[in-house]
Structure 1
């Protein structure tokens, strides 16, 4: 099974996409949605022909690339290019073999976007905790950039741009272009605004004294799938706690 939890009855033409990361124009194709109109392919270390070739491959209606990003505790973040002819988009979600087919929706980029899907600490933690025993992307720089489009955080650390620039340089962006490009990618998201993130607390208006499920951040962005909802509805508390540890936001996380 290429994606744990994906509809087994689906005939969507999913293909493993990890080999596409080496295409010279791939990162322009993937991150270009965050760039202002007119951004040159050379900014990403590519040329126009590279960009066209990458776009045709990544957006192929007959082969929908799936990028798997395995992280702690058997979880996998998934980037899926949904290449319908009239409704193309990119889905970002989390899966786990024990979730009985459930998916944790992070974000969607299409004509009806939903996001942000990750806070900066989660993004960085996932990027730097690969599971070498699982299939998918292992390089921390590529992992960070694959998930960068779902970021939306009002509380970025001072060195966030430097970290993104390092990942850009490691994946082929010219060193002279990387710092400015990193700043653009962090500042310009046309789909949603930066949001605040916090651990959940019991609401005095909820009418219940039940303690909230702790450890996983909630988002205050109005378009975010994580606004007022837990990731992967239907998983049990123990599974939720393991997810919190894997995201690096649980008090018990290293």
Structure 2
């Protein structure tokens, strides 16, 4: 079983779909739409037929593609096409063999929820593949697979360069990649950018110390608003997750 929690769903490994010429256009074109730009497949160096073929594969009701992004400590970030006939979407979540349930990051579709990752987390996951686990290991592909759930009010100055370099690694010329990266990091079509902060003790928690190192999101639409990233895990498991996400306090 590729992942648990989706009973009788026709889940298949999706990594090979990244080899389709129109894959990145199908995956990201909607995200690059801004008030000034109406995206077209040619932005990604492909034509409409290539993008349509990739989109058909990504939204196949009989084959739900799962993209696995394994990172530190045995954790895996997952991107799953949930291709229900009447309510298709994409679910983003983290799994670990020792957890009893998923850590939901975000959902795209009719009932969207996000953002799911800060830039700090996204960048760290992209750069720390677990080469012993199945899935996508190339840094540029890992970054772009998870980019749709980014929502961060405090992007670093080099964020556009980082995304541009990732796009260049897919085959785009540098000039086009830079412009596309700017569009991808502009206003998200589904949610507002969020503030991400380490949690502090709340009066509502009875004075209990929060789990250290896990960022909390201030955007109410996010599954990570006011809650742990993964419910039901122990403090020790949360500590390992924080280290794997690159958010464990250094001082």
Give your verdict on TM over 0.5.
yes
Alignment partner, residue 213 of structure 1: 211
Q: Which runs of 4+ in 1 moved over 3 A?
A: none
Gaps of 5+ in 2: none
* Aligned CA distance change for structure 1 residues 55 and 207 (closer, same or farther; 3 Å): closer
Alignment partner, residue 190 of structure 1: 189
* Aligned CA distance change for structure 1 residues 207 and 19 (closer, same or farther; 3 Å): closer
Aligned-residue offset at 1:24: 0.8
Alignment partner, residue 136 of structure 1: 135
SS of 1:206's partner is: helix
Aligned-residue offset at 1:35: 2.1
Aligned-residue offset at 1:77: 0.2
Alignment partner, residue 235 of structure 1: 233
Output one character per residue of 1:25-51: Cα deviation in whole Å (capped at 9) or x when no partner: 111111122122731211101111111
Alignment partner, residue 245 of structure 1: 243
Aligned-residue offset at 1:143: 0.1
* Aligned CA distance change for structure 1 residues 207 and 220 (closer, same or farther; 3 Å): closer
SS of 2:90's partner is: strand
TM-score by length of 2: 0.96
Gaps of 5+ in 1: none
Aligned-residue offset at 1:207: 6.1
Determine whether 1:20 maps to 2:17.
Answer: yes
SS of 1:69's partner is: strand
Distance in 2 (CA, whole Å) between partners of 1:173 and 1:142 is: 13
Aligned-residue offset at 1:189: 1.1
TM-score by length of 1: 0.95
SS of 2:200's partner is: coil
**Number of aligned positions between the proteins:** 248
SS of 1:176's partner is: helix
SS of 1:84's partner is: coil
Aligned-residue offset at 1:172: 2.2
Q: Give RMSD over aligned pairs.
A: 1.3
